[in-house]
Amino acid sequence: MTPAPPSEARARLDAIVKAYDVRGIVGEGLTEQAVEALGAGFVDEVGATGGRVVVGHDMRDSSPGFAAAFARGATRRGADVVAIGLCSTDESYFASGWLNAPAAMFTASHNPAAYNGIKFSRAGAQGISLDTGLAAIRDRAGDYLEQGIADAATPGSVTTADVLADYAGYLRSLVDLGGIRPLKIVVDAGNGMGGLTVPAVLGEAARLPALPLEVVPLYFELDGTFPNHEANPLEPANLVDLQRAVVEHGADLGLAFDGDADRCFVVDEQGGAVNPSAVAAIVALREIARVRAAGEDDIAVIHNLITSRVVPETIEAAGATPVRTRVGHSLIKDRMKETGAVFGGEHSAHYYFRDFWGADNGMLAAMHLLAEFGAQDAPLSEVAARFTPYALSGEINSTVDDVPAAYTRIVEAFTGRADFDEFDGLTVMGVTAESEPFWWFNVRPSNTEPLLRLNVEGADVSTMTAVRDEVLALIRS
């Protein structure tokens, strides 16, 4: 590998290393040369010389080459690479936890085809953010790009492993779906990794017993060009095909996975989107009840600051302690470990489980929902409505060149009628009389894209809409 000029090498890494992962456009900041250096830096930072490192990848065209480049850097620094090949991100977390080994997953999640990236884990699927090792990995990789990678005295090896059946079996051991009523579900994999994992976990591809589920597949073909729609179910346009199919097939519900299949979105029998906060509340109740039955009394459940108010209310009503956190998977994994929380939920449909090494797993959340829904006869629209008492805007993205100026406009407009919180981005909470409907909103910059994200909640639709429109005008002015 020919060393790059110092300023160029550092600039490339600075551009692609984000708050809690690596993300960039293939061939611009993200090159095989940079990835090989990151592989070497990762081994140094996590102390994997002489030990194992798990490397997996999604179905993007660039992912196999990047995984191989990372393995070269890792083995040069003396780590033995366990290459698990095509996998979902939560499957890579499973391998990291199951093997108690650090891991690197090549994916750009929901981003378009031109992007790729890396999600890192320490041994046991523990997260790595900029503040807990990612900056050091970046800096070590920068040294290697400038000076070349120094080979370890004993280079590592590469072996392959298929962990899909073990992953599927483990999830089946956590949630028993064998006794639920028969359900027809439509699953939109978005040409992402759900096309591999859904047949294994919910079907019989992993040679597990058949479940009382009829799965209608949409876009299960693995294709990193995303020929049907972007694998980002957070955008309403990407749910349209699933919503239509659920109604056409008379299905009980629909599931949509993002590109790396670690997030799962839900559609009810009428084609209506079920808010991820409602899913978080339902799963929280199940996990609280499960550990209480096992004898636990001091139970914590995590939610990020953008989830609906119904989530902490549900947790408290169940006798557990809600723990509010910032947004971001590595940050929440850290809080899961610190607090011993049994479960954690994010507005973006990331769901974290203590029994899954504190990591997020959209498939496991879907299984909990199927177990809860399949144990009673009410339609999902009715079940979800119980956990959606307030009006939410959903996440609204705006391209903003000057974020501080946008914040200033918002603070000036709401001073005197709201309280402000900068725990994560800017949260503005309406100061209202008891007879007035409550409202709050949060604006925060994306860690991976040049966007400002807005989330609004109000006691009713008219309140939420009024606040939403006022804030959007301020952001976009």
Report the SS3 class of residue 379: coil
CA gyration radius for the chain? 22
Cβ count within 10 A of residue 97: 22
Task: Using DSSP, state whether 467 is helix, strand or coil.
Answer: helix
Q: Which regions of 51-174 does DSSP assign to beta strands (E)?
A: 52-57, 80-86, 103-106, 115-122, 126-127, 158-160
Q: How far is residue 402 from each of residues 310, 450, 477, measured CA to CA in Å?
A: 33, 10, 11
Contact of 92 with 54, CB cutoff 8 Å: yes
| Residue-wise DSSP of 213-233 | EEEEEES-S--TT-SSS-S-T
Q: Hunting for tokens 């209480």 — which residue is that? A: 292
Q: Which residue is catalytic, options 109, 129, 277, 348?
A: 109
Q: Would you say 268 and 274 are in contact if contact means Cβ atoms under 8 Å apart?
A: yes
Q: How many CB atoms lie within 10 A of CB 377?
A: 8
Chain centroid to CA 303: 13
Q: Give CA separation, 246 vs 110, 144, 255, 256, 365, in Å.
A: 22, 51, 10, 11, 20
Q: What are phi and psi for residue 393, nearest 5 degrees?
A: -80, -20
462 is catalytic: no
Please provide the DSSP assignment of 291-353 as one string: HHHTT--S-EEEEETTS-THHHHHHHHTT-EEEEE-S-HHHHHHHHHHHT-SEEE-TTS-EEE
Rounded CA-CA distance 130/9 in Å is 18
- Count other Cβ atoms within 10 Å, centred on residue 217: 16
For residue 286, list its beta bridge partners.
none
Scanning the structure block, which residue is given the tokens 């709401």? 414
- Which amino acid type is present at position 132? T
Residue given tokens 């300023």 in the structure block: 7
Within 8 A by CB and 6+ apart from 295, the residues are none
Beta bridge partners of residue 458, listed in sequence order: 391, 439
Query: Rounded distance, CA 11 to CA 13, Å?
Result: 5
Distance CA 174, CA 314 (A): 22
Tokens of residue 450, six digits? 């040049």
Annotated catalytic residues are: 109
